[in-house]
Structure 1
């Protein structure tokens, strides 16, 4: 039920009001006495908020509602309102028909590991501690959460001299970014700033393809950079002053290099490019690999020498400020990089790119396929890592095969310093996946 980023799926099929009610019951039954609840702009968000709030209150939890806000606002508000947990009703960058629920711990990090397993176990067993009629929880509205989020970002980041920024909100919840940047002194132009859960202006995920208009606007204006968010503004992607979309691995390397010093480590998922390690080596720092998912990255940042964490998809975590991916904070941080160095183009050009390719293979048996790949490579390669999927390291590159936590696909990644070698590794990995999928399909047909 839980993927790499909470519960997510098509509304009415995978995600329903009945499920939201049960999630609320489970969270409260696990001991959360005070819970913050917020949502992104999707049409189905309000009724799911009502359902999860009812479940929480049924089991005695008091609820603080923060309305339609970025997901990081929900995560940060857990501490602000002295709560034990948070629930963000969001499907993040998924299509409009989807929705979901993402759970937050008391320290503002995503719920993973044993804490998540305990909630999942209650959902599976339908085991809840319902309160008596006179013990149900209360609900209150906290309208100041937006202002507190903006103030927290402005207090944490210095931008001098302030650059000119184009902010593509993507019809999501990220319009706080424009407010924060203006308070930091930036000249700001916005695109797609009206919240609309149908995401009419562009698909919610801020990819290079989906951000073509942003790239064009930045290139044709005097802007120093552009930033783009997904539907709930936990992700942030950047565009240079000449309209180049910055690859996620490069932006991860830039943030990591800026934050780390000698002896520090940076938490990155197992599919991150070796570019990050290269850039960290230049300042005497190193990476530490985690499973894919911002919750796993955030968990690693609890270790004292881990000063930053991020994912190439656009999730960035500064643990000294917040343990959630915060697109608003990230936008201010990239503006500060430009202010300090003068040109995002120059910063990007300073990172030595390494050929990397990512793709997907659609299958209804993604986990079984990855398990079959694991058996196929077990005796074929010496350096195999299975912390998340199957990663094979060679002397001059690597490939990774892993089941998506949010879609019915297997994700395939390959990287090598030579382009031809990268392509060879990629084809090897993709062939392993298709071979495994054929075998799993044949077994399923035979059993049927």
Structure 2
């Protein structure tokens, strides 16, 4: 924890916006250097222009690759495009539009020149592709955002016709083609002046449709005091529109937009990071906790949520997911009786216990929201959530709302829960803890070389030789997700009351250890220590003593 975590940003913490944008246009990557190539992680290609990892060359090549990919797939309808408030997002959108127009793609930008949250773009794709008026013209989209990452970063993500994040088959092809274009000096990229492009009212369509997924009337009747802090992100005008359109008592706590994020408090490591689930990043928001019945935060592209209550402060994402699941599956009669609860394997086991109490099937998948997409599309998974404060769920009638994470939706749900039950989400979690136990959860990092990270990603259950974890018998070892059989890219080890999962970082020389214990925080520390020993032994090939 940095000594300045939770304190206000100072001038020395802020980016030079002009330098960042100048680097975007005038610095060129060397594709022989791995860090300067196109790489799609779980949420698209990310990097900074200052590091030659997110420059005009990259975005032109990626967009050209997307054009060629959609042609291969027979996607001939409009491509919806939007961006968040990061400084690199606007120039990246201009580059992308030049390539899309140069390739004669029917592209739609925001009608009012507004920023576009990730869930609004997903909503637009789904709405178009389910409309009877589309006449077979399938659409897809691009959202330009590095999510909650620092102001110096840029991000670029492709969402195919299902509306959610592209799967690894698509992103692998796109990245390979983009790097081939870069290697050839982008001579295969077509560009033209984007003088005239089509428009779409992302905000209006999303806001007007909310009563089909949230009980807006219940919130209105309850007369709650609701605060929403966009954290300088793309949801800022959406919250104002939701308040006006649906006559809700919502106060936009901080309507400021600044690509430097000078108004933020520093995250745990001393960086500016717009993470609404971080107490340090949300420190200034938490000062207002007593002013509202429900207070929420979103990150820069509004795909994450932070829930603040006057009685409980900032809720752990795992705690809120468990409360949301219990509430939704008892207040959505239009959902299929066999619809499952989706979670990633690194989310809390409290969700497992809630699912059992509801008599619902639990559908566990690897890290990455893309795994929930098929179930959300066909209604077989009614809720999908990640421990990193990202989730979405179905409409009242059981059809798809968004197939990408929706922080606005989860924030509004907190007000619905408070309005309908008369209790805060924090109070409801206390009831769950009394019923099922109160687990301690934490993620830590451990050092690993690139070779060790690669070995960890290939681990099989037979590579783990330990029989106990923190004094308890090991009951399960997984390297594939039970929900869909997809590889975890690591390993998960469980006992009756605790578990840990280890997976390599995609950007740093560390591996991540997620751990949870229903025996308290001191026991959690033992789980974490044993986890590191077990993984180190597996990587070295030596039996665990």
Structure-1-length-normalised TM-score: 0.88
Cα distance 1:144–1:190, how it changes in 2: closer, same or farther (>3 A)?
same
Q: Name the counterpart of 1:430.
A: 532
Q: What residue in structure 2 maps to residue 297 of structure 1?
A: 372
Say yes or no: does 1:355 pair with 2:440: yes
Shift of 1:405: 4.0
Structure 2 CA distance, aligned partners of 1:423 and 1:121? Answer: 42
Which of 421, 427, 434 is matched with 1:346 structurally? 427
Contact persistence 1:266–1:307 (CA under 8 A): yes
Equivalent position SS for 1:7: strand
| Match among 267, 279, 286 for residue 215 of structure 1 | 286
Tell me the CA shift for residue 146 of structure 1: 1.4
CA deviation after TM superposition for structure 1 residue 98, in Å: 0.5
Q: 1:426 to 1:181 in 2, by over 3 A?
A: farther
What is the aligned partner in structure 2 of residue 28 from structure 1?
67
- Of 87, 104, 114 in structure 1, the residue corresponding to residue 159 of structure 2 is 104
Q: How does 1:31-430 map to 2 (within 5 A)?
A: 31=71, 32-33=75-76, 34-66=78-110, 67=113, 68-80=115-127, 84-126=139-181, 140-142=197-199, 144-159=201-216, 160=218, 161-175=222-236, 176-202=238-264, 203-206=273-276, 207-219=278-290, 221=291, 223-242=292-311, 244-260=313-329, 263-302=338-377, 304-319=379-394, 320=399, 321-344=401-424, 345-352=426-433, 353-361=438-446, 363=448, 365=450, 367-368=453-454, 370-371=456-457, 377-380=463-466, 383-386=476-479, 387-388=487-488, 389-405=490-506, 409-419=510-520, 420-430=522-532
Contact 2:463 2:538 in 1 (8 A): no
CA gap of 1:406–1:288, structure 2 versus 1, over 3 A, is farther
Question: Which has the larger displacement, 310-319 or 113-122?
Answer: 113-122
Query: Residue 525 of structure 2: SS of its match in structure 1?
Result: helix
Per-residue deviation, residues 91-143 of structure 1 (Å, max 9, x unmatched) = 1000001111011121211111322233233224439996999x999852425
In structure 2, how many angstroms separate the alpha carbons of the residues matched to 1:364 and 1:178?
47
What is the SS of the residue equivalent to 2:326? Answer: helix
User: Residues of 2 paired with 1:367 and 1:191: CA distance?
Assistant: 42
Query: What is the TM-score with the length of structure 2 in the denominator?
Result: 0.73
CA contact (8 A) 2:239 2:250 kept: no
The CA RMSD measured in Å over matched residues stands at 2.9
CA contact (8 A) 1:172 1:197 kept: no
* Partner Cα separation in structure 2 for residue 181 and residue 384 of structure 1: 48
Q: CA distance change for structure 1 residues 303 and 152 in 2, over 3 Å: closer, same or farther?
A: closer
The alpha-carbon distance between structure 1 residues 137 and 42, as it changes in their structure 2 partners (threshold 3 A), is: closer
Q: Which moved more, 1:37-46 or 1:413-422?
A: 413-422
SS at match of 1:201: coil
TM-aligned CA deviation for residue 331 of structure 1? 1.9
Structure 1 regions of 5+ residues with no counterpart? 441-448
- Mapped partners of 1:423, 1:373: distance in 2: 23
**CA 1:364–1:191 in structure 2 vs 1: closer, same or farther (change >3 Å)?**
farther
User: Cα–Cα, structure 1 residues 169 and 408, in superposed 2: closer, same or farther, change >3 Å?
Assistant: farther
